[in-house]
A and B are shown apart, each in its own frame.
Chain A
Amino acid sequence: MSSKTDGKFGEYGGQYVPEALMPAIEELTDAYERYVLDNEDGFMDEFRRRMREFGGRPTPLQPAEQLSARYDTDVYLKREDLLHGGAHKLNNALGQVLLAKYMGKERIIAETGAGQHGTATAMAGAHLDMPCEIYMGETDIARQRPNVFRMRINGAEVTPVTTGRGTLKEAISETMRDWAKTVENTHYVIGSIVGPHPFPAMVRDFQALISEEARSQAQEAEGRLPDAVLACAGGGSNTMGAFHNFVDEESVDLYAVEAGGSSLSVDEEAGVAPNSASLSTGEEGVLHGARTRVLQDGDGQIMESHSVSAGLDYAGVGPELAHLVDTGRVDAVNVDDDAALEAFHRLSQLEGVIPALETAHAFAYLEEHRGDLGESVVVNVSGRGDKDLETVIEETAERDLSIAPDMDLFREIGGGML
C-alpha cells in the first residue's frame, strides 16, 4: 500500500477485493496521489475549470426565506440540484472520468442506483469522449426510467442487472465483475465514497467542492460558520462532500440523515431490512471492498435494504462516514419514508424547489428537529426531484399526508401515471 495514503479510517476502509483487481487499485491509488493530491500536470486545475464551464459551479448558497420563517432559524440551501445534471453526482463523475483520461484508460464503467450517478457518468463520458457502460438493477430501471433515457441519449450503454433484488448493491457487484475482466483498459467510476481505497478518499475529494464553496459562502452571508450542516446519507458522497471542510470545525454540528424506510426493525429470516440506515442500525462488516457499517444478518449475509428513495437504498455506507459517526463527530439520524415524502411536498410548496427524494430526508429531519439545530443551518440540496415525480405521485396516493396536493389532479392530467 502507498506511503502517502493508507486507506484506513480508524478500523474502517481498506482494500478487500479479488486479487485480479489489486493491480488496478494500486495503479489508481498512484494516479489519485499524483493527479488529485499533488495536482500533477495541472489535473485539479483542469477539473475545477471543467466544473465551472461544463458543470456550472459554483452552485448558490441560497437563503430559504419561508423555511427560515417557519423554523425561526436561518436556513440556507446549498443548491447542488442546480449543478449540471441536477445532482451533486457530476462532481465525482467528471473528476473520475477526467482521471481515467489522464491514466490513459479507454473505457469507463459505472454502477448506478437512482440513475443519478449513471447519468452524470454518461454526461461526463460524452463530454470527455470516453465510451461508457452503466450497470443498473432492473428494479431501479423500472422506477427511474427518465434517467435510463438520459444515459442512452448521452450515448452510454445501459446493462440491466437481474440478480438479487435488482438494486444498487447488485449493480456494484456486477460492475466489479466487469472490472475484474477489463482492468487493463477500463476505469471503474464508483458512484459514492464506498469501495476499496482509494475510492472513498478520492470521491470525497471531488465532492468536497460542495463544502469548500458552502464554507466561504456562509462566511460571506453571515460572517461566520453555520451551526449545523445537514445532508442525506445513503452511500454518503453528498454527505462527505457537504461535511469535509467543516469536519475540523468543532462548532459546526454535522447530521447525516439516513433513510429509516418503513421501519428500523429487520426481518432476519427473510434477509430484509426495511430501511437503509446502515449508520444508525448496521454492524461492522466487509462489503464491496471496504470494512464499514453494513446491514447484515448474524452470519454476515448482506440484507436487502429499502427506501422510497432509490439513491439511499444501499446496505452499506462509506467507511469515512462510519468512522466519523463512531468517533462522535457526525450524528447519524434517520427519518422514515412518510416524513421524507411530506418534506418533499413541503420544500416544493414553500420554496419552489422540488428536491430529490434522497434530499427530502434531510429536510424531514429539519422539520422534526426545528429549534434544536442552532441559529444558522445549511442543508445540502443534493439533487432535484424531477426523476422522482412518478414515484412521489404513486407513494403519495397510497398515504394520507396532510401536506400532499389534491391527488385527483394527477389523474386528470397525468393520464397513465397512476
Chain B
Amino acid sequence: MTLSDAFDEPAFVPYLVAGDPDFGSSLSYVEALERGGADVIELGLPFSEPIAEGPTIQEGIVRALSAGMATERYFEFVERLDVDVPIVCMTYYNLIYQYTGTSGDAGGAAGERGPRPFVERAAGAGIAGLVVPDLPPEEASPLRAACDEFGLDLVFIVAPTTRGDRLDRMREQVSGYVYVQARLGTTGARDDVSEQTDASLERVGDWEVPKAVGFGIKTGEHAERIVAAGADGVIVGSALVDIVAEGVAEDRDPADVAAELAAKAEELKAGALAGAKQRTPPEHT
C-alpha cells in the first residue's frame, strides 16, 4: 500500500517518539495505535535539538534519548515492529545528513555523508516516508532525489504563514501527503480547533496529495471537526505522548498504558470517520 492509499477513508495518523520511555514499551505502544485504528504512523527518531517541538514531545524525546535510542537502533525498532500500516519517519535533518551506514568498514555506503545512506537504510527497514520539520523545500533537493531513488515519500509541512512561491515549491516536491499545520507555534495539544485550519486547508485545496491536519488535536471531537472541514486525515502527537508521560510519572504497567493508547486511537479514528459524514458533498470533477 502506498502512503496516499492510506487516506482512502479519513485517516488517523498518530505520532509517538520511538523508544519513549524505553525500547520494549515503545514497541507495544506503537502496535497498540495500530490496533486502535491508525492508518499511518509517524514515528519520531529523536534529535537532541528539536526546535519545532513543544514541551510535551520535547520531553518524550529526552526520555527516548536517555533510554538509548539512536539512529541504527531506530531502524532495528522499525524492523521489530509488528504493524501493517505505513511508517513515516519524523526527524531532523542533521541525523539524516550524518548517517553513514551501519559501520565504518570499507565498502557499501560507509563514509558517505548526506541523505542517501539514511534513505537507503530507511527503505530497507520498510519505512514509507519522511517528515523533516527543519528542512524547507529550498534545501530539500538532495533528500528528494534520494527518496525518489529508494521509493520513499517526502512529506512537507504547510504552516498557516506559508503562501505564494513557497507553496508552489512545496507542491512540486511533496509526496505521500501534505502535513497541514493547524496553527502557529510548536506542537502541543490545545482545547480549541483553530480557525487557521480552514484557511490552511483552503490553500492546499487543489493539491493532488491527501491533506492531513496536525498541531493541537487531542479529542475525537476535534478530529471530527477537522475532517468535516475537509481534511483527509488528522495527525495527533502530543495528546498521545501525554499518555506515555503520565504512564512514566505514575509508574503504570506498560500494558495499561498501551490499552489507553489503543482506546484513544479508537476515539480519534471514530471522530475522523464521523467527520466525513458531515462533509458537504465534494465538488469533484
Contact = CB atoms under 8 A, between A and B. Distances in A.
Interface of A: 1, 14-20, 22-24, 26, 163-164, 169, 173, 176-177, 180-184, 271, 283-289, 294, 296, 298-302
Given A169-B49, A173-B50, A298-B98, A24 B161 contact: yes
B94 A287 contact: yes
Given A16-B134, A23-B163, A289-B134, A177 B97 contact: no
Chain B interface secondary structure, helix, strand, loop or mixed?
loop
Q: 7 shortest A-B CB distances, which residue pairs?
A: A300-B98, A181-B185, A20-B159, A18-B52, A23-B161, A300-B94, A286-B94
Contacts of B99: 299-300
A180 B186 contact: yes
Given A1-B138, A15-B138, A284-B113, A181 B186 contact: yes
Nearest to B61: A163
Contacts of B95: 299-301
A285 B49 CA distance: 13
B162 interface: yes
Contacts of B72: 299
Contacts of A14: 138-139
Interface string B72-106: 10000000000000000000111101111000000
Classify chain B: how many residues form its interface, as a range.
35 or more
B51 interface: yes
Contacts of A271: 48
Interface in B32-88: 47-54, 58, 62, 65, 70-72
Contact of A163 (B58, B156, B161, B185): B58
Contacts of A164: 48
A184 B186 CA distance: 15
Interface of B: 47-54, 58, 62, 65, 70-72, 92-95, 97-100, 113, 133-136, 138-139, 156-163, 166, 181, 184-186
Contact of A20 (B54, B62, B113, B161): B161
B159 A285 contact: no
Nearest to A163: B58
Contacts of A17: 51, 134, 136
14 contacts: A16-B93, A16-B134, A18-B134, A18-B159, A20-B184, A22-B159, A24-B161, A177-B54, A180-B185, A184-B184, A289-B134, A299-B70, A300-B71, A302-B48
Contact of A180 (B49, B156, B184): B184
